[in-house]
Chains A and B, each alone.
Chain A
Amino acid sequence: MLALKLAIRNLLGAGLRTWLTAGVLSIAFVVMVFYQGLLDGWNLHARSTTREWEIGGGQYWHPAYDRFDPFSLQEAHAPLSPQALELAAAGRIVPELITQATAYPDGRMVNLLIRGIPPGQQLLSLPTAALAADSVGIPALIGRRMAASLRLQPGDALLLRWRDRSGVFDAREVTIVGIFRADVPSIDQGQIWLPLATVQEMTGMAGEATLLVSAPDQPPLPLAGWVFKDTDFLLKEFTEVIHSKKAGSSIIYGTMLAIALLAIFDTQVLSIFRRRREIGTYMALGMTRGQVIGLFTVEGAAHSLFALLLASIYGLPLLHWLGTHGISMPEVADATGMTIGVKMLPVYSAGMVLFSVAVVILSTAIVSYLPARRIARLKPTEALRGRSQ
């Protein structure tokens, strides 16, 4: 308590120098919280959105299915077992049949994937009810990105060509009955959704599916002939991207933190040099060297308290505003295939904020302690004379 009281008095006595150092440190702290909050918010949004729109509580894959290899689709299909059919009827799983196809919008040629899905499913947020329309030949559903790139509107016809299970080409015209808006590019770009029964009939794969989407609250079941992939596996690439983004952003706030820490280090070195007589006085009054080192370490680390104070003055309103208004993302932001919202809303968890506070306090304590160690080599008599050794 004595050390803290003395430290705060000394820092306040240093005036502008203290506030400049604390200011830079507070900016580093606010940027650290903001960046982490932004990435956490993105992560949270992307995971929940992907679960809602595409992967549910996990997927059962045909053993031959590889989501990064369209050629695997030729083999990756199998009939649903009675158990799977029962689960599908109960709405606990949603079967999807996927096949390669070519579309010809305005005479152009575009490769895409036809995804067959039961129109009555309610497990995913996809507006598949539109696929139940019987007023058109083959109803089709596409995402806004697909609609934009193919210049399609609801009611437009689109010619599709595909190969059935025997490798025979066939072609039909489908009608766009709906365009959905989702933040998950992997269900939008290069995808066209048709009724499952229609796709099964088109491909000659009656009663078959490529994968089964599980309900979020459905525990994994041992379905014969299917391999369960949990959400961690299905979101693995996204998780890696987030980790890499976090590493990248840590360079930014790490640099800012390093600048602030360097200022504190310099302040400490200067302070110990200029205050040798004071150090000698402390020793003469009965402080041990360890206590004096502790006192200077606390003084340096107290910069972080000032920084937190400053950060709470301007940072809290700023972070709160950003957390409620978010940051608008450009339309092309999801062209990379990453799940990303129209707005990115930072999410500040207590754990993350406490971790950032701990990083700032701990790092300032370390850089304060390093120069303070030289006090241990200072003889009280030399210090009292204002000399260094």
Chain B
Amino acid sequence: MKRTMENQKLIDIRNLVKRFPIGDGSFTALRGITLAFAEGEFAGLVGPSGSGKTTLLNIIGSLDTPSEGSVTVLGREVTHLSHREAAALRNHHIGFIFQTYNLLPVFTVYDNVEFPLLLQKGGAAGRKKAVLEALEWVGLADKAQSRPAQLSGGECQRVSIARAMVKRPQLVLADEPSANLDADNSHHILRTMKRLNRELGTTFIFATHDEKVMHYLDRIIGLEDGRVARDERIENTTEDDHPPASGEIGGSELPGEEDFARP
């Protein structure tokens, strides 16, 4: 039985304004954004460059703070979080996937995926189990001892997904995750994320202008000049509706729901 997605507010954004100082003046990146995200959403912030997608994603991820308005993530008002509290929120509850993967080049795939858990100071046995599980999810268990330099772009992004998911976060923020990938790899990682979303109930929010990503989204929020231009929910979107990857890229079948149960 699949996990029930509770329709609770995971993120609540009200009248969000973000300004960046430029010289003597300032540039307003976000202008009065009001949005809410429920648990288990697979949503995307779409729009052209400079529309404020990444800025909004950064504020949701407590990497940045609003100039005005309020942003509540997992019940915490990010405006009022100290550096330490924001770091703890990111470490325990938020996963990040970057366009450039941002893997640690000197670490193996296993070490990269293990890294967020080391910051949580959990037991070694539990950590190992979680890492191997996460690598299974993305089909890279056999590459555990490889270095990022030995992997393809698609594999690197799958490691990045495993790293984001290994701590079973409630929220994953993905900034242009497919921008550096070819079509096959893009579809593969998107299918992986979609499955994780469905099986684990993890909320995914993307910042993207990649058409391929939009096909997978349940909700598309269009941003233009720092404002919400549209907010559409798309019905009946499943991974089976999307074009299959041309050729297998080494991804294994994802495990059943019992394997995905939150601890």
Contact = CB atoms under 8 A, between A and B. Distances in A.
Interface residues of A, number: 22
Contact of A277 (B83, B91, B102, B107): B102
Nearest to A379: B64
B19 to A, nearest CB: 14
Interface stretch (B40-48, B111-119, B198-206): B111-119
Contacts of B87: 283, 286-288, 291
Contacts of A380: 58, 63-64
A12 B91 CA distance: 28
- The dominant DSSP class at the A interface is helix
Interface of A: 2, 6, 9-10, 12-13, 277-278, 280-281, 283-289, 291, 379-381, 384
B88 A2 contact: no
29 contacts: A2-B115, A2-B118, A6-B106, A12-B106, A13-B105, A277-B100, A281-B96, A281-B102, A281-B104, A284-B61, A284-B90, A284-B96, A284-B98, A285-B96, A285-B115, A285-B119, A286-B87, A286-B90, A286-B92, A286-B120, A287-B87, A287-B91, A287-B119, A288-B83, A289-B83, A379-B64, A380-B58, A380-B63, A381-B58
Interface size class of B (residues with CB under 8 A): 20 to 34
A384 B98 contact: yes
Contacts of A283: 63, 87, 90
Given A285-B119, A291-B119, 5 more contacts: A2-B115, A6-B104, A285-B116, A287-B119, A381-B58
A9 B84 contact: no
Interface of B: 55, 58, 61, 63-64, 83-84, 87-88, 90-92, 96, 98, 100, 102, 104-107, 115-116, 118-120, 163
A289 B104 CA distance: 18
A13 B106 contact: yes
Contact of B90 (A278, A285, A291): A285
Question: Considering the complex of A and B, which 6 residue pairs feature the smallest CB-CB distances, nearest first?
Answer: A286-B91, A9-B106, A281-B102, A380-B63, A288-B87, A284-B96
A286 B87 CA distance: 4
Given A2-B118, A381-B58, A285 B106 contact: no
A280 B100 CA distance: 12
A293 to B, nearest CB: 12
A379 B65 CA distance: 11
Contacts of B55: 381
